[in-house]
Structure 1
Amino acid sequence: MPGNISVLFIMELIGTAAFSCSGAMVAIKKNLDLLGIVVLGVITAVGGGMIRDVLLGIHPPTLFLKPVYVTVAVIAAIIIFLLMRSKNISRFLLTAEYYDWTMNLLDAIGLGAFTVVGVNTSISAGQGNFQFLTIFLGVITGVGGGLLRDMMACEVPAILRKHVYACASIAGAVFYAYIGNRISQDMALILSASLVVVIRLLARHYKWNLPKCNMNHLN
């Protein structure tokens, strides 16, 4: 990559923007004002990374040392706010079908990007020999922001109900941990993030779900 721009940094920015947009969409759906939209967008974008950094003992967390991520999150949330001010766009995107499709795509992109970023950050912090830890931190980086978003929006977290949401993150984290030292870092990042995105999109298309305990028969 030219200059100081790396594939990892580009993935962080893509994940930040995607998650911020998803947080802003949820906030708009909940009829929050501009501040609420920005706050939910930022929390969704940087929440997972903040949890990861606290667990790794990185103080203060990266989001405070490198405000570029918060800046990107704020800009993305404001862009969504401005777009949704248009009645034609909001009427289109807030219908059940398109809202679900848009949220799924944004979540898939953010989940894929941040899962591999989380694993990579853990390895860079000297935890590469502890694979369970690196995989866990990859997953918490991927799902943490969405978890905080759903809790603040008073919704059941997506990781507990959505089509193999956390499982896709686990698959990507395990894949990256396995191939990370076998091929170039850039290729490992791209392939692992792509795996997460593909699993999420296929899960929605084919309605893959983990088994549930149906209690309706007790009524």
Structure 2
Amino acid sequence: MDITILGLMDLVGTIAFAISGAFLGVKKKMDIFGINILAITTACGGGILRDIIIGDIPPRAFRNPFYVGIAFIVANVMFIWLSMHKHIPEKIVKWYDTLVFWFDTLGLAAFTADGIWIGIEAGHKDNMFLIVFLGFITGVGGGALRDIMANQMPDILRKHVYAVASIAGGILMAFIFGLTSDESISVISGFVLIVILRYLAMKYEWNLPKVM
């Protein structure tokens, strides 16, 4: 498996998640400290939760804070940019939403794969439920923590099939790896499935059933 490609996807996902956290902080009228905390939590929170679950203490984000630093830089760049413009120009809104959607989707796929492989490397390859959950929590955990800290219902509980795409891709990865023990095939299959499901959910506005 090409670790460099997965690392690049992690970087893209970290930047996208940090941007979403920073924008929510601005929307909630937080100060610069709050915006930084929300951006870092969104980008790194899922990985921290994953490490706690498998007993990898202290979590990797504290042992090698590279992605924390990336999220910090992104948050402050966004703070300065928004302070100068006060709002996003209308011409950019549609383009921005589309770009962040794809960065977010690639990040979700990459982080889901990360969580699964870290679980396998930790010796849990025979526990499919655990490694799929680790992929899921790595992919969506940061966003859920962000929303809770911002005092709003987590998007993963009410919007499109974001969480479901992560679970489906994780199951496919774990299943194919169990059959073939081939990391590359399983990662590519799960990654592609997550991207396809997210695209279809966006294009056709899929949402899970609700009572009201």
What range describes the TM-score normalised by the shorter chain of this pair? 0.7 to 0.9
The question of 1:141 aligning with 2:138 is answered yes
| Match 1:167 to one of 164, 170, 180 | 164
Q: Does 1:8 align with 2:6?
A: yes
Write out aligned runs for 1:201-216 (5 A).
Answer: 201-214=199-212
Cα 1:152–1:101, aligned 2, differ >3 Å: closer, same or farther? farther
Deviation at residue 62 of structure 1 after TM alignment: 0.4
Q: Quote the Cα distance in structure 1 between the aligned partners of 2:188 and 2:67.
A: 20
How much does 1:147 deviate? 0.3
Range 187-196 or range 120-129, more displaced: 187-196
Q: Provide, for residues 8-57 of structure 1, a one-character-per-residue CA deviation record: whole Å limited to 9, x for no partner.
A: 33332222222111111211222222222111010001101111000001
- Who is 1:108 aligned against? 105
- Residue 126 in 1 paired to residue 123 in 2? yes
Change (3 A) 1:154 1:66: same
Runs of 4+ in 1 over 4 A off after TM superposition: 97-103
Q: Which residue of 2 aligns with 1:193?
A: 191
Alignment identity in percent?
44
Q: TM-score, normalised by structure 2?
A: 0.87
Secondary structure (helix, strand or coil) at the match of 2:88 reads helix
Q: Give the Å deviation of 1:70.
A: 0.6
Q: Is the partner of 2:24 in helix, strand or coil?
A: helix
Q: Return the TM-score normalized by structure 1.
A: 0.85
Amino acid paired to 2:131: T
Contact 2:174 2:186 (C-alpha < 8 Å) held by counterparts:
no
Does residue 117 in structure 1 map to residue 114 in structure 2?
A: yes
Letter in 2 for 1:148: L
Residue segments in structure 1 that go unaligned for 5+ positions in a row: 215-219
| 2:54 alignment counterpart | 56
- CA shift in 2, pair 1:93/1:163, >3 Å: farther
Matched, 1:179 2:176: yes
Report the CA distance shift for 1:10/1:123 in structure 2 as closer, same or farther (over 3 A): same
1:119: Cα distance to partner?
0.6
What value does the CA root-mean-square deviation take over the aligned residues? Answer: 2.6
> Equivalents in 1 of 2:8, 2:155: separation in Å?
25
Aligned mates of 2:140, 2:6 — CA distance in 1: 18
Deviations 1:155-206 (A, max 9, x none): 1101110101110111111121123363753454344233223312221220
Shift of 1:83: 3.2
2:9, 2:106 within 8 Å by CA — same for their partners in 1? no
Q: Secondary structure at the match of 1:168?
A: helix
